[in-house]
Amino acid sequence: MRARGCAALLAVLLAVAGCSGGPARHGPLLAGGGVDAEPHARDCLPPDGRTRTSTTNAGPVTNEGSGPVTVTGVSLVNPVEMGLVEAVFVPEEGPVNGAVYPPPPDEAGEGWPDRVVAPGAVLGPGEEWWFAVGLRSEGPAAATERIRIDYEDADGRAYYALTGTSVAMREQCIGVEIDWPDW
Amino acid sequence: MPSGGAVVRLLAWPAGRELASLEDGDTFTLTPIARTSTDSDGHYELRVDPSVDLGRFESEDGLVEVSLDVQAPEGQASYQGTVAPEEALGGTFSSRAAGDEVVEPSLPSELDLTLEPAGSVARSDVPADDDGLVHAQYVNLGVRWTNVGALFIKVTGVWGELQHLSGANAELGVGVASNNGSYSASGTVNRASDTTIGFGRHGRYTYRFFDTQRPYARYTRWNCSGTRSTSTVQPLAYGGNAGARSRSASAHIPPNQPRSRCAPYAPRTIHDQTVTKASTWATGAKTSSLIGIDLSARTGYSNTAKTRFDFVEAGRAVCGTRNHPAQRTEPGPGTLVVQMYP
Count of CB atoms within 10 A of residue B41's CB? 12
> CA-to-CA distance for B302 and B306, rounded, in angstroms?
5
Whether the bond into A79 is cis, omega within 30 of 0: no
In this structure, is residue A104 part of a structural domain? yes
State whether residue B91 sits within 8 Å of chain A by CB.
yes
At residue A83, the pLDDT reads: 98
At residue B268, the pLDDT reads: 97
Q: Per the CB < 8 Å rule, is B112 touching A8?
A: yes
pLDDT grade for B128, boundaries at 50, 70 and 90: very low
State whether residue A19 sits within 8 Å of chain B by CB.
no
At residue A21, the pLDDT reads: 40
- The whole-number average pLDDT for the span B312-338 is 89
At residue B298, the pLDDT reads: 79
At residue A40, the pLDDT reads: 82
pLDDT, one tens digit per residue, over B147-188 is 888 899 999 999 999 877 777 778 889 999 877 678 989 888
Q: How far lies B258's CA from each of A93, B186, B262, B320, in Å?
A: 10, 34, 7, 9
- The whole-number average pLDDT for the span B258-277 is 88
Percent of chain A surpassing pLDDT 90? 74
Q: How far lies B161's CA from each of B207, B293, B294, in Å?
A: 12, 30, 26
CB-nearest partner of A8 from B2, B181, B272: B2
Q: Which residues of B touch A20 (CB under 8 A)?
A: 92
- The whole-number average pLDDT for the span B90-95 is 62
pLDDT at B226 over 70: no
At residue A44, the pLDDT reads: 98
Q: What is the DSSP letter of A50?
A: T
Q: Which residues of B touch A111 (CB under 8 A)?
A: none
At residue B91, the pLDDT reads: 64
> CA-to-CA distance for B77 and B138, rounded, in angstroms?
20
Give the least confident one: A55-69, B10-24, B212-226.
B212-226
Binding-face residues of A in 61-90 toward B, CB within 8 A:
none
At residue A2, the pLDDT reads: 29
pLDDT, one tens digit per residue, over B73-88 is 777 788 899 888 877 7
Count the domains in chain A: 1
CB-nearest partner of A5 from B75, B112, B182: B75
Q: How far is CA B85 from the centre of its chain?
A: 19
Percent of chain B surpassing pLDDT 90? 28
At residue B159, the pLDDT reads: 97
At residue B301, the pLDDT reads: 56
State whether residue A24 sits within 8 Å of chain B by CB.
no
> CA-to-CA distance for B295 and A16, rounded, in angstroms?
31
> CA-to-CA distance for A84 and A135, rounded, in angstroms?
5
State whether residue A134 sits within 8 Å of chain B by CB.
no
- The whole-number average pLDDT for the span B247-263 is 94
Q: What is the DSSP letter of A38?
A: P
In this structure, is residue A91 part of a structural domain? yes
Q: What is the CATH number of the domain that holds A163?
A: 2.60.40.10
State whether residue A141 sits within 8 Å of chain B by CB.
no
At residue A24, the pLDDT reads: 47
User: At B38, which amino acid appears?
Assistant: T
- The whole-number average pLDDT for the span B308-327 is 93
User: At A26, which amino acid appears?
Assistant: H
Higher-confidence position of B284 and B74: B284
Give the chain A residue whose CA is nearest to the CA of B320: A59
In this structure, is residue A124 part of a structural domain? yes
CB-nearest partner of A17 from B44, B91, B263: B91
User: Which ipTM was obtained for this model?
Assistant: 0.85
Q: What is the mean pLDDT of chain A?
A: 85
- The per-residue DSSP string of B161-180 comes to EEEE-TT-EEEEEEEEEETT
Q: Is the dihedral of CA B108, B111, B117, B122 positive or negative?
A: positive
- How far apart are the CA of A130 and the nearest CA of chain B, in angstroms? 10
Q: How far lies A22's CA from each of A120, A124, A159, B222, B326, in Å?
A: 26, 22, 12, 43, 22
Binding-face residues of B in 283-302 toward A, CB within 8 A:
301
At residue A132, the pLDDT reads: 97
Q: Per the CB < 8 Å rule, is B325 touching A10?
A: no
In this structure, is residue A174 part of a structural domain? no
- How far apart are the CA of B190 and the nearest CA of chain A, in angstroms? 19
Q: What is the mean pLDDT of chain B?
A: 82
Q: Which residues of A touch B83 (CB under 8 A)?
A: 14
At residue B1, the pLDDT reads: 58
- How far apart are the CA of B63 and the nearest CA of chain A, in angstroms? 14
Q: How many CB pairs under 8 A join A and B?
A: 194
Q: Per the CB < 8 Å rule, is B111 touching A164?
A: no
- How far apart are the CA of A2 and the nearest CA of chain B, in angstroms? 7
- How far apart are the CA of A19 and the nearest CA of chain B, in angstroms? 9
- The three-point CA angle A37-A146-A118 to 5° equals 115
At residue B76, the pLDDT reads: 78
pLDDT grade for B124, boundaries at 50, 70 and 90: very low
- How far apart are the CA of B198 and the nearest CA of chain A, in angstroms? 16
In this structure, is residue A180 part of a structural domain? no
- The whole-number average pLDDT for the span B36-59 is 86
At residue A66, the pLDDT reads: 94
End-to-end CA distance of chain B, in Å? Answer: 54
What residues are paired with B271 via a beta bridge?
A43, B309
At residue B44, the pLDDT reads: 84
Higher-confidence position of A51 and B56: A51
> CA-to-CA distance for B101 and B106, rounded, in angstroms?
15
Q: Which of A75-89, B50-64, B273-287, B296-310 reaches the highest mean pLDDT?
A: A75-89
At residue B135, the pLDDT reads: 84
CB-nearest partner of A41 from B46, B310, B325: B325
pLDDT at A35 over 50: yes
CB-nearest partner of A9 from B112, B260, B301: B112
- How far apart are the CA of A71 and the nearest CA of chain B, in angstroms? 20
At residue B118, the pLDDT reads: 59
State whether residue B39 sits within 8 Å of chain A by CB.
no
At residue A11, the pLDDT reads: 34
Do the Cβ atoms of B82 and B107 come closer than 8 Å?
Answer: yes
In this structure, is residue A89 part of a structural domain? yes
pLDDT at B29 over 70: yes
The H or E element containing residue B219 is strand B206-222
> CA-to-CA distance for A28 and B250, rounded, in angstroms?
40
Which class for B223: exposed (0-12), middle (13-18), buried (19 or more C-beta within 10 A)? buried
Under 8 Å CB-to-CB from A27, ≥6 apart: which residues? Answer: A65, A69, A151, A153, A157, A159, A160, A161
State whether residue A98 sits within 8 Å of chain B by CB.
yes
- How far apart are the CA of A120 and the nearest CA of chain B, in angstroms? 24
> CA-to-CA distance for B312 and A66, rounded, in angstroms?
43
Q: Which residues of A touch B181 (CB under 8 A)?
A: 2
pLDDT at B192 over 90: no
State whether residue A42 sits within 8 Å of chain B by CB.
yes
Q: A127 lies in which domain range? A: 29-169
Residue in A1, A2, A4, A10 to test binding to B, most B beta-carbons within 10 Å: A10
pLDDT at B28 over 60: yes
pLDDT grade for B119, boundaries at 50, 70 and 90: low
At residue A122, the pLDDT reads: 97
Do the Cβ atoms of B123 and B11 come closer than 8 Å?
Answer: no
Three-state secondary structure string covering B25-74:
CCEEEEEEEEEEECCCCCEEECCCCCCCCHHHHCCCCCCEEEEEEEEECC
Q: Per the CB < 8 Å rule, is B272 touching A41?
A: yes
At residue A65, the pLDDT reads: 93
In this structure, is residue A16 part of a structural domain? no
Q: What is the DSSP letter of A47?
A: P
pLDDT grade for A10, boundaries at 50, 70 and 90: very low
End-to-end CA distance of chain A, in Å? Answer: 55
